[in-house]
Amino acid sequence: MFVIFGATGHVGRASAAALRRAGHPVRAVVRDATQADALAAIGCEIALADLSDANSITRAIEGAHAVQWLCPVPQAHDDPAAEMRQIIDTGVAAFRTAAPPRILALSDYGAEHAHGTGITTLFHYLETRLRTVASPLILLRSAEHMQNWARVLPVALERGVLPSLHDPLDKLFPTVAAQDVGELAAQLLLDDEPSRTTPRVVSIEARERVSALDVARILAELSGRPIVAHRVARHEWPAVLRGAGLGERHTQLIVDLYDAHNAGRIDVEANISERCFGATTLQQVLGALLSRVGGTEAAAS
């Protein structure tokens, strides 16, 4: 039995689907049963779990051959960092009790840094705490997800301006499609090669790095509308992020993250043992996102 936490998200759903296609039993762990219909339709067993309750997590991983762990950033919480650390500690307590045969944790580029990377420091904490669990551990670090651009698509389509915190606009940065992360995670869970050390650290990004200028250009080509990239001035970041609904502490985590990003600290770790590349292109992901909002050239005509 493969147990997938965060199975309703882009990554978890891709992992569950890949494992089911390969004929393996999957237990999809969700917090809300109303979101589980699509997972049940592909043959997943559904388990409800409260991530703040170690006993609930222990029940969800009972009988697991392997566990895929996604610790969500609690965006609606007043102090998302403190809440996420609490969720991590609760999960670690459950893993110590149940000791799954294998754990794969979804992490981020830059997680090797303990300080100065904003929200990514929480994934450093995640990795550090999971290293205390006896189970063999895989740390899958991914670059920035291409799907994150969905947050600013409405603005770009309406105003013809793509706001970006990446500075300068022509700076190339790593990115990856969420489905490629999920499918690689499934492959790693199925890999029974006995010679791997623990923790096994694996990184994934797309084959080509992109800039904010590239994103705007591709959006313009796909939508048939003029769209230009706009560098949001550093002093405007807090107001923009708070205007998007983020609380003060969450805003600061994102500000610190992009300061680190623009300084070149959020990248694949030097001398990392395994490096993988996703096949999905930015054009494919943006095309799919635009089709959902009716923003492609074909949809507009």
According to DSSP, the residues that pair with 105 across neighbouring strands are 69, 139
φ, ψ for residue 140 (rounded to 5)?
-100, 105
Mean pLDDT of 267-291: 93
Establish if 196 belongs to a structural domain: yes
- The upper half-sphere exposure of residue 200, i.e. CA atoms within 13 Å in the direction of its Cβ, equals 20
Position 201 scores a pLDDT of 95
Establish if 162 belongs to a structural domain: no
Establish if 219 belongs to a structural domain: no
Position 297 scores a pLDDT of 57
Establish if 212 belongs to a structural domain: no
Establish if 22 belongs to a structural domain: yes
What whole-number distance in Å separates Cα of residue 253 and Cα of residue 202? Answer: 25
Position 299 scores a pLDDT of 43
Position 196 scores a pLDDT of 60
Position 207 scores a pLDDT of 97
pLDDT band, very low/low/confident/very high, at 42 (cuts 50, 70, 90): very high
Establish if 155 belongs to a structural domain: no
pLDDT digits (tens, 9 = 90+) for 141-177: 999 999 999 989 999 999 999 999 999 999 999 999 9
SS3 assignment, position 204: strand
The CB density around residue 38, as the number of other CB atoms within 10 Å, is 14
Which residues have a Cβ under 8 Å from the Cβ of 114 and sit 6 or more positions away?
121, 124
Establish if 299 belongs to a structural domain: no
pLDDT digits (tens, 9 = 90+) for 8-30: 999 999 999 999 999 999 999 99
Decide if 143 contacts 206 (C-beta within 8 A).
Answer: yes
Q: How many domains does the chain have?
A: 1
Give the CATH number of the domain where residue 26 resides.
3.40.50.720
Q: Peptide bond preceding 25: is omega within 30 degrees of 0, i.e. cis?
A: no
> What range does the domain containing 125 cover?
2-143+177-205+272-278
Decide if 39 contacts 28 (C-beta within 8 A).
Answer: yes
Position 195 scores a pLDDT of 46
pLDDT digits (tens, 9 = 90+) for 63-111: 999 999 999 888 778 899 999 999 999 999 999 998 899 999 999 999 9
Q: What is the mean pLDDT of the chain?
A: 93
SS3 assignment, position 145: strand
According to DSSP, the residues that pair with 118 across neighbouring strands are none
Whether the per-residue pLDDT at 244 is higher than 90: the answer is no
Residue 38 sits at the vertex; the CA angle it makes with 66 and 31, to the nearest 5 degrees, is: 60
Establish if 251 belongs to a structural domain: no
